[in-house]
Amino acid sequence: MSLLIKNVMLDGQKRNILVRDGRFVCLDAADGAEAGEVLNAEGCAILPAFYNTHTHAAMTLLRGYGDDNPLHVWLEEYVWPYESKMTAADIRRGSELAVREMIASGTVFFNDMYFEIDETMDVVEQQGIRAAIGVTVMENHPAALRDEKAARIRAWRDSPSLSLVVAPHSVYTVGRETFISSTRLARENGRRIHIHLCETEKEVRDCVAQTGLTPVRYLDSIGILGPDVIAAHCVHVDKEEWDILAERGVTVSHCPCSNMKLGSGRFPYELAIASGVRITLGTDGCSSNNNLDLREEMKFAALLAKVNGDAELLSAPQILQWATRNGAEAFGYDTGVVEEGKLADAILVSLDSPKMQPCHNLISNWVYAADSSCIKHVICNGKILL
């Protein structure tokens, strides 16, 4: 399978880009290069696609539900009661909405944590996107359900579009022994681990009261943290804890819109960046965002970083890397940049859009000025999805 993208802007020059077997094979192909499909991208620039490293896809069904409440009120009085009534068919519909929204806004991969995962996986395969699907672990799950999930993890084999991750929800929903056993299960079977971590001050206070340690120190003390861990939020993390996360090779998924909307706090950009931790971007679910647009997440993150007075903190190219290459690398995908030999995941952005003009700096326009309406095409694994 091959695709020739003609007349597209790359690095300030108009190029023809040849894709074969899902990879960029030539970034300066001849006009007459042979290809099974030709896409005329006149007036467009090519950019890396997005990798959403923390979301709950089917929560599109809770968009606008329980707004303007702090996290624990939102969870305990709105989200969990609502979710207890959701069926597999509901989750399929919510996942369909989520995948359509993500593709339309340039995302080709998402890291999910939810329930009835077969429904979401089926949608992913039908739509041609990629996903890491979390097998959620919570203390209140019956033993039989935990055994069923463990058996599935042991039997699972990844495909190019789908992988399974083990997802112990958080320190406030998972006990010590369950955290240890689920982490062991993940590592024995080569699975990544996806958790919520230090999202609120209450989470930190409660963890200290129960264990004598903050969540990062507590999880480190019981052997959870490692290079296979993707930790979402990490808002209330001190300098020593950032050093622990960096030393253990943990990937952090920063979710600025959800953190702001739930009143969770400002991500400590200064400490996080100085630590050298790999930082990626996530949207969280639609109930706390309320959309799945990772381009919007880039702008909010970059502006929130500067709000304390340092206009140089978190540049446009840096935040683009968080949303693209860092996310791809965290999940083992050889992509996130438009380079020969890399997997062909990309978006084509219209330079004719008023929001992209004038184009003094393409990356700055994409981060600060554009919106998802500027996207004309989305490509995943060499296939045009949009």
Q: Could you read off the pLDDT of 240-262 as tens digits, one per residue?
A: 999 999 999 999 999 999 999 99
Q: pTM (2 decimals)?
A: 0.97
- The single-letter code of the amino acid at 243 is D
Quickly state the pLDDT bin for 54 (edges 50, 70, 90). very high
> Does residue 53 have a pLDDT over 90?
yes
Q: Work out whether strand 23-26 and strand 50-55 pair parallel, antiparallel, or are unpaired.
A: unpaired
- Among 44, 118, 107, which residue's Cα sits nearest to residue 362? 44
Q: 269 — alpha (psi -120 to 50), left (phi > 0) or beta?
A: alpha
- Among 139, 204, 200, 130, which residue's Cα sits nearest to residue 165? 130
CB neighbour burial string for 325-357, b if at least 16 within 10 angstroms, e if fewer? bbbbbbbebebbbbeeebbbbbbbbbbebeebe
CB 237 within 8 A of CB 229: no
- The single-letter code of the amino acid at 153 is I
Q: Tokens 């326009």, residue?
A: 365
The total number of residues written for the chain in this structure: 386
Quickly state the pLDDT bin for 144 (edges 50, 70, 90). confident
What is the rounded average pLDDT of the residues 341-362?
97
> Does residue 141 have a pLDDT over 90?
no
| Six token digits for residue 90 | 């509901």
> Does residue 120 have a pLDDT over 90?
yes
For CATH 2.30.40.10, the residue range(s) in the chain are: 2-48+339-384
Residue 75: partners with Cβ closer than 8 Å, 6 or more residues away? none
> Does residue 265 have a pLDDT over 90?
yes
Q: Quick one: DSSP state of residue 288?
A: G
Please state the CATH superfamily assignment of the domain spanning residues 2-48+339-384 in this structure. Answer: Urease, subunit C, domain 1 (2.30.40.10)
What is the rounded average pLDDT of the residues 158-176?
97
Q: Quick one: DSSP state of residue 155?
A: H
CB 350 within 8 A of CB 374: yes
Which pLDDT value is given to residue 257? 98
The CA distance from 256 to 265, in Å, is 9
For CATH 3.20.20.140, the residue range(s) in the chain are: 50-330
pLDDT digits (tens, 9 = 90+) for 67-118: 999 888 998 999 999 999 999 999 999 999 999 999 999 999 999 999 999 9
| Six token digits for residue 375 | 């996207």
What is the rounded average pLDDT of the residues 114-126?
97
Which of 144 and 270 is assigned the larger pLDDT? 270
The CA distance from 113 to 311, in Å, is 34
> Does residue 330 have a pLDDT over 90?
yes
Please state which CATH class domain 50-330 belongs to.
Answer: alpha beta
Quickly state the pLDDT bin for 164 (edges 50, 70, 90). very high
Quickly state the pLDDT bin for 143 (edges 50, 70, 90). confident
What is the rounded average pLDDT of the residues 48-77?
95
Which pLDDT value is given to residue 207? 98
To the nearest whole number, what is the mean pLDDT of the chain? 97
pLDDT digits (tens, 9 = 90+) for 180-233: 999 999 999 999 999 999 999 999 999 999 999 999 999 999 999 999 999 999
The CA distance from 113 to 102, in Å, is 16
Which pLDDT value is given to residue 151? 95
